[in-house]
Amino acid sequence: MPSNDADGNIPTDNLEDHSIFRRPVRTYVIRAGRMTENEKRSYEELHHVWCIPFEHRTLNFTDIFNNTNPVTMEIGFGMGHATAQIAQDNPNMNYIGSEVHVPGVGRLLGEIKKRQLKNLYLIEYDALEILETMIPDNSLAGFHIFFPDPWPKKKHHKRRLLQRPRTDLLVSKLSPGGYIYFATDWEEYALSAVEELSCTEGIHNKYEKFAPHQEWRPRTKFEQKGLDAGREIFELVFVKDEE
């Protein structure tokens, strides 16, 4: 039996059918993290209330939110501070957050209860599989992608979320006029994302290159640490063409 390489893939030399031996390339890794007692309690008590189970079915947003307000999806909400604040500030918008980090899910569930939010649901699963399986085409008002893993090593660039054909999948789920809003403190990733999004059919850059900070987006603790360390924040806003 061949051994796995550093990325968890079985070497495919001399194998007739490579595809059946490869693990899918993930845009994330699940890192160990201790949950606080509050996060554990929120996770146990509220997961069945505010988390949508991953299933091979297409979601009906009207049934979920009991209204027809626009729906925005956040990919990788971390600990969920900005997610909860944006949902609270925009009660006439609906939000779906995806995350695989269990402590973050627990923390945001607690915020949903604390703030009495009715317009935010979570899916604890791989965002790309959620998009492929559960999100209807042309249905989302926007994507929020705030400080995803930049995968700085060149050999790991294949794991980055904002590259084709993954960006084509994102665009297929946006309604006309919908947007992709991306923020990072990793300049090389920002430059790469500009190129990949600019090459993606059906969307255009709202700005000449990088966007100014969107004042409605709360700064996160992670972002503030970057600013305190002298790192620059790069933001992009791409909009789907009107049909």
Coil/strand/helix, residue 133: helix
Q: How far is CA 135 from CA 65, 109, 171, in A?
A: 14, 22, 12
149 marked among binding-site residues: yes
184 is an annotated ligand-binding site residue: no
**149 classed as catalytic:** yes
Residue 182: enclosing H or E segment and its boundaries? Answer: strand 174-184
Q: Is 5 annotated as a binding residue?
A: no
Instruction: For residue 152, count CB atoms less than 10 angstroms from its CB and return exposed for 0-12, middle for 13-18, buried for 19 or more.
Output: exposed
Catalytic annotation, pick one of 13, 17, 63, 149: 149
**DSSP for residue 237:** E
Known binding residue 222? Answer is yes
For residue 239, list its beta bridge partners.
179, 204
On whether 99 is known to bind a ligand per the annotation, the reply is: yes
Residue in this structure with the two tokens 């995350």, named with its chain if needed: 99
40 is in an annotated binding site: no
235 marked ligand binding residue? no
Helices 81-89 and 102-115, interaxial angle, to 10°? 30
Residue with the two structure tokens 């604890």: 124
Q: Is 118 annotated as a binding residue?
A: no
Give the CA count within 13 Å in the CB-facing half-sphere of 137: 3
Tokens linked to 6: 């550093």
- The verdict on whether residue 137 carries a ligand-binding annotation is no
Q: Is 221 annotated as a binding residue?
A: yes
**Count of residues making up the chain:** 243
| Cβ–Cβ under 8 Å, residues 107 and 39 | yes
CA dihedral of residues 215, 89, 185, 138 (deg, nearest 10): -100
Question: Which residues make up each annotated binding site for S-adenosyl-L-methionine?
Answer: 74, 99, 126, 149
The catalytic site residues sit at 149
Question: Which residues make up each annotated binding site?
Answer: 74, 99, 126, 149, 153, 185, 220-223
Question: Which residues make up each annotated binding site for substrate?
Answer: 153, 185, 220-223
